[in-house]
Amino acid sequence: MNDITTRQDVELLVNRFYDQVIKDDLIGFFFTDIAKIDLSKHLPKMYNFWESILLGNPVYEGNPMRVHFPLNEVTAMEEKHFNRWLQVWEKTVHDNFEGENAETAITRALNIARIMSYKMTNARSSE
């Protein structure tokens, strides 16, 4: 297995992750029922986000935290949801890649998920 080194690798990783996460019994509904995402618009943002992090090309423009607050208002985004997200992410990474960037993909996701989870809980308790 190879490491994640090209845009094509990033796209494959994100596509395989979304194949799984969208039909996930615990968190799939955030994507399909709450945000009702249009994959043709959403996926390129995710490719850019991960390309920025993993390949160091600053192609992502946006705020990855901001879009989650409205979801959290409809249905509380709780630790169990973040844990599942991370579980699917880690499995997708390990099923397809190995190497330094693959490990970075997992640790960065874990760090961001922790911060996001904290912010979502805070947003709820301050209402």
Residue positions forming the annotated binding site: 68
Number of residues engaging ligand HEM in binding (CB under 6 A) = 22
The DSSP element (H or E) to which 36 belongs, if any, is none
- The correct pick among 16, 64, 73, 123 for binding ligand HEM (CB under 6 A) is 64
Residues 6+ apart with CB under 8 A from 36: none
Q: Which H or E run includes 60? A: none
Closest-CA residue to 13 (of 21, 22, 25, 4) = 4
Question: Contact between 47 and ligand HEM (CB under 6 A)?
Answer: no
**Segment near ligand HEM (CB under 6 A), from 1-9, 10-18, 77-85, 93-101?**
77-85
In angstroms, the CA 86 to CA 109 distance is 7
Q: Judged by CB under 6 A, does residue 99 bind ligand HEM?
A: no
Nearer to ligand HEM, 61 or 127 (CB): 61
Dist CA 127 CA 41 (whole Å): 31
Binding site for ligand HEM (CB under 6 A): 27, 30-31, 35, 37, 42, 45-46, 49, 62, 64, 67-68, 71, 77, 81-82, 85, 109, 112-113, 116
